[in-house]
Amino acid sequence: MDQKHLYSTGWRDSTKRFEKGLSLRRLVRNRYLMASAAGSILMALFLVFYGVPWTPGRINRVPGAHSEGEGPARSPAWASVSGQASVTPGDLDLDPTRISDRFLLTREGASLLVESTLDPDLQGYLVRVLQNSLNLKAAAVVLRPDDGRILAMASFHQDQDGGDLCLRADFPAASLFKIVSAAAAFEYAGFTPEKTVYFNGRKHTLYKSQLKQRIGRYTSSISFKRAFASSINPVFGKLGIYDLGQKAILDSAERFLFNRPIPFDLPVAMSVVQVPGDDFGLAEIATGFNKETTISPLHAAMLASAVVNRGVMMKPYIIKRISLENGRVLYTNTPGETIRSINPNTAAKLKVLMKATVTHGTCRKCFRGLRRKKAYRNVELGAKTGTINDRSDRFKYDWFTAYMIPSSGKGGICVAVLGIHGKKLGIRANRLGRSIIDHFLRSPSHPASAS
């Protein structure tokens, strides 16, 4: 398989022009046939050079991308016995690290033009910001919540071991799972954002002594909204034990596509959660204070998308159109729903919680200066963060998932960022996410009011 990139960011290359020869020997019988042949040749040349919807002489690439080698020999996926040409993204064995906005795919001597949803400017920015993040590894996904299109998707490995992190679900979800728990609290336990909740001890620890239902001299009270915004573990631990239980947590998680395949143009690892029946196990799951609940960066962005899309997760997609070299369209994506994770009322309550994270919670300092700027006056921001160490305490997983929605309701984005730190912390995921949102808002080609 030879994957060549067109009209992307930065790099240029060249491709061979399509050459077609026509034999005139059988046509040269008389002057009338010669005139007819000349007209046919002119028409064919016109179609070759003006009918093909790309310019084969100029190729650009996303930074770091390169052409693929030949794949295993097999019949072209777009050829059928009935003569009807068809192909799906799953037929093409695409490498996620080598997808640009437009590229040629050559196989079995035939060429396809593949058009993706990636935005060259935003994709290039993601690549640069992750490379400069000082993290051991990092990944980021930007998608449109209203239709599921992927605007940018990139990952970085300091050790240069290759591969794409965005579609892997090897990473503990940490406090991102509080989105699932909060949704269950609204739908199963009758919670509201302003409900008063109580906790003892420190905010970010989770000891069995903190999970007792007691209110005493040293008990702190706080609204559920602020408990979510500040990611207070004892509150969510008690929520899991006394208000939700195993069935409610598992049902809510599966409606957010945990333990279920995510339909996508490329293979995505399944995010998993195992909900135990014991009290402390329920507390750990509800808070995300465990290392067995895992999620992919793509899925993390989809969590935020369900909140701002009235509870519906749209099917994510990165391939927009596939055409033959003669311009014939073989595949066009049609946006569609994946699942309704929550009802619209629950989605509205979760937005209140995620907005509080930006104004009063774990993202307050990160966004404080930006929220005063003109570009942010007419947009709504919501977020959730999460941090947890690996089993050996050698690495720190650092999450940020957020939405940015203009007041017009059009052109919003959801962003997910994963940072993996070693002994020294790199740039935190919330600051990387902030810079991505800021770049999107300031880019002249992507005004917040764009449709």
Together in a domain, 172 and 25:
no
265 C-beta neighbours (distance < 10 Å), count:
23
In a domain, 450, yes or no: no
In a domain, 131, yes or no: yes
Together in a domain, 52 and 137:
no
Residue 174 pLDDT: 98
Together in a domain, 176 and 110:
no
Residue 368 pLDDT: 87
The answer to whether residues 94 and 265 touch, using CB atoms and an 8 Å cutoff, is: yes
Residue 80, token pair as written in the block: 């059928």
Q: How confident is the model at residue 162 (pLDDT cuts 50, 70, 90)?
A: low
Residue 372 pLDDT: 74
User: How many Cα atoms occupy the beta-carbon half-sphere of 23 within 13 Å?
Assistant: 2
| Mean pLDDT, residues 273-278 | 96
Name, of 9-23, 113-127, 357-371, the range with top average pLDDT: 113-127
Q: Which of 101, 116, 131 is the last residue of a domain?
A: 116
CA distance 62 to 99: 8
Together in a domain, 149 and 243:
yes
Together in a domain, 111 and 127:
no
Nearest to 141 by CA among 174, 165, 170: 165
Nearest to 272 by CA among 260, 285, 284: 260
**With 60 as the cut, is the pLDDT of residue 11 above it?**
no
Q: How confident is the model at residue 322 (pLDDT cuts 50, 70, 90)?
A: very high
As a whole-number percent, the residues of the chain with pLDDT over 70 amount to 78
**With 70 as the cut, is the pLDDT of residue 81 above it?**
no
In a domain, 402, yes or no: yes
Residue 419 pLDDT: 97
The answer to whether residues 325 and 114 touch, using CB atoms and an 8 Å cutoff, is: no
Together in a domain, 112 and 201:
no
The answer to whether residues 325 and 107 touch, using CB atoms and an 8 Å cutoff, is: no
Q: Which of 95, 116, 137 is the last residue of a domain?
A: 116
**With 50 as the cut, is the pLDDT of residue 352 above it?**
yes
CA distance 145 to 312: 9
Q: How many domains does the chain have?
A: 2
Domain of 301, CATH number, reads 3.40.710.10
Together in a domain, 179 and 69:
no
Together in a domain, 147 and 163:
yes
Q: How confident is the model at residue 150 (pLDDT cuts 50, 70, 90)?
A: very high
H or E stretch covering 253: helix 245-255
Name, of 36-40, 154-158, 331-335, the range with top average pLDDT: 331-335
Q: Which of 67, 86, 116 is the last residue of a domain?
A: 116
**With 50 as the cut, is the pLDDT of residue 208 above it?**
yes
| Mean pLDDT, residues 75-97 | 67
Together in a domain, 418 and 396:
yes
| Mean pLDDT, residues 331-338 | 95
Cα angle: 59, vertex 415, 132; to 5 degrees: 65
Q: How confident is the model at residue 284 (pLDDT cuts 50, 70, 90)?
A: very high
In a domain, 334, yes or no: no
β-strand partners of 251: none
Residue 257 pLDDT: 98
* Helix ranges (DSSP H) in 19-111: 31-50
Indicate the average pLDDT of the chain.
83
Together in a domain, 15 and 69:
yes
| Mean pLDDT, residues 299-312 | 97
**With 60 as the cut, is the pLDDT of residue 42 above it?**
no
In a domain, 345, yes or no: yes
From residue 332, how far is each of 104, 115, 318, 335, 344 by CA, in Å? 16, 10, 11, 10, 30
Together in a domain, 112 and 157:
no
Together in a domain, 156 and 24:
no
The answer to whether residues 220 and 285 touch, using CB atoms and an 8 Å cutoff, is: no
Name, in order, each residue with C-beta under 8 angstroms of 116's C-beta and a sequence gap of 6 or more. 99, 100, 101, 102, 103, 150, 318, 319, 320
| Mean pLDDT, residues 141-162 | 90
Q: Coil, strand or helix: which one is 313? A: strand
Nearest to 340 by CA among 245, 415, 272, 257: 257
**With 50 as the cut, is the pLDDT of residue 56 above it?**
no
**With 60 as the cut, is the pLDDT of residue 92 above it?**
yes
Q: Which domain holds residue 436?
A: 120-318+340-442
In a domain, 209, yes or no: yes
Q: How confident is the model at residue 109 (pLDDT cuts 50, 70, 90)?
A: confident
Residue 86 pLDDT: 78
CA distance 130 to 39: 55
